Structures are given as structure tokens and as C-alpha cells.
């Protein structure tokens, strides 16, 4: 399973629809300061359900919507989609590609889609559980995160191993069952 495609529209500095295709192997994104490199990783975390504006380097969620420039008007909503290659059916969906989309309007209204069908954030979180993919999971290692892992409390480190071992799903279901 790998990230095949990232599409952004109205997200931060990506006012126009921008599509990035990835192939297996290593991809490096290079560019001058302020050109939008970090906005690319922000987009991936955002579509996976990031709720903290601060961790997306803004002060409110609306800050992810393109605010306009000298030559361009602001936009009313933004949308990000990621497409994962699922030819090995690692995600429990019978599709060779799985696309997750998040859209948010200035009014605050927001929605998530799974293969273009409306869904809940919870469905997306459950889908990626134990795959290492998620806004906090180990497939996204941000600046300072390695240090954090090393110096963290053992319980926090344990969470990383639990995700890698693939037992988060069962723990989460157990917790849900206990609530009932």
C-alpha cells in the first residue's frame, strides 16, 4: 500500500486544483522557503482528520482555506483527496484504489468522503487503524517527533508499538464494547 495521488483545491497556498502523483520509492519535494512544501504534508494530515488548527500552523480551522492574493480572490471552500494504492487489499475494502476526501466551507460546514461517498471521520479513522496511516501514526514523522519518541513516557512509546503490531483496532473495539 502506498500513497498514489494527492489532490488539493483551495487548500492553503494551492488555490488552483493541484494534483501530485507518486510512484513507489522515494519522492523528495524541494523548493524555496515559503513555496508550500510543508503545506503538502499539512494537506495529508488534514485529510486524515487533523482537528487541531495549531498543528496545521494556523489559529482557526478556516485558515486552511486559500485567503487570496494580490492577483486572486479568496475561495469559499477547500478540498483535499488522497488516493492509496490498495491492490494488495491491505485496507479492508474491495477496491484497488481507496480515495479519502475532506472538504470544508468558510461557513464551517465540513464533510468526509470515502471513494466519493459521504462518510464519518470515524469511518476513515477505523479504516486506517493499525496501518500506520493517520494524523498521529508513524507514517507521518514530523520535525521533533523522533526526539519526542525517545524521550516520551513508556506508555506513549507503547502506543507506537501497538499500532505497528496491529492491535489498536481490537483495543478500540474492546473499549467500545465496555461502554455499552
User: By three-state DSSP, how is residue 121 classified?
Assistant: helix
- Binding status of residue 46 toward ligand ATP by CB under 6 A: no
What is 122-167 written as a DSSP string?
Answer: HHHHHHHTTTT-SSSSTTS--TTHHHHHHHS-HHHHHHHHHHHHT-
b/e 78-103 (16+ beta carbons within 10 angstroms → b): bbbbbbbbbeeeebeeeeeebbbbbb
**Residue in 38, 41, 55, 172 binding Mg ion, rule: CB under 5 A:** 38
For residue 74, give the C-alpha cell.
479568496
**Residue in 37, 103, 157, 169 binding ligand ATP, rule: CB under 6 A:** 37
- Binding status of residue 49 toward ligand ATP by CB under 6 A: no
CB of 42 to Mg ion, least distance (A): 9
Binding-site positions for ATP read 32-39
Q: Scanning residues 50 to 109, which ones bind ligand ATP (CB under 6 A)?
A: 63, 65-67
Binding-site positions read 32-39
* Minimum CB distance to ligand ATP smaller for 72 or for 122: 72
List residues binding ligand ATP (CB under 6 A): 12-13, 31, 33-39, 63, 65-67
Amino acid at each position: 500500500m502506498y500513497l498514489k495521488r494527492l489532490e488539493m483545491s483551495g487548500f492553503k497556498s494551492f488555490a488552483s486544483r493541484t494534483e501530485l502523483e507518486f510512484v513507489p520509492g522515494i519522492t523528495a519535494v524541494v523548493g524555496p522557503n515559503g513555496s508550500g512544501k510543508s503545506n503538502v504534508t499539512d494537506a495529508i494530515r488534514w485529510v486524515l482528520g487533523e482537528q487541531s488548527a495549531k498543528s496545521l500552523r494556523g489559529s482557526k480551522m478556516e485558515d486552511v482555506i486559500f485567503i487570496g492574493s494580490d492577483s486572486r480572490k479568496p475561495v469559499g471552500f477547500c478540498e483535499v483527496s488522497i488516493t492509496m494504492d490498495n491492490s494488495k487489499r491491505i485496507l479492508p475494502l474491495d477496491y484497488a484504489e481507496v480515495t479519502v476526501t475532506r472538504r470544508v466551507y468558510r461557513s464551517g460546514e465540513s464533510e468526509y468522503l470515502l471513494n466519493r461517498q459521504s462518510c464519518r471521520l470515524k469511518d476513515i479513522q477505523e479504516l486506517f487503524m493499525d496501518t500506520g496511516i493517520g494524523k498521529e501514526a508513524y507514517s507521518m514523522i514530523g520535525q521533533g517527533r523522533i526526539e519526542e519518541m525517545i524521550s516520551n513516557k513508556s506508555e506513549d512509546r507503547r502506543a507506537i508499538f501497538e499500532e505497528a503490531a496491529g492491535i489498536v483496532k481490537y483495543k478500540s473495539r474492546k473499549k467500545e464494547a465496555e461502554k455499552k
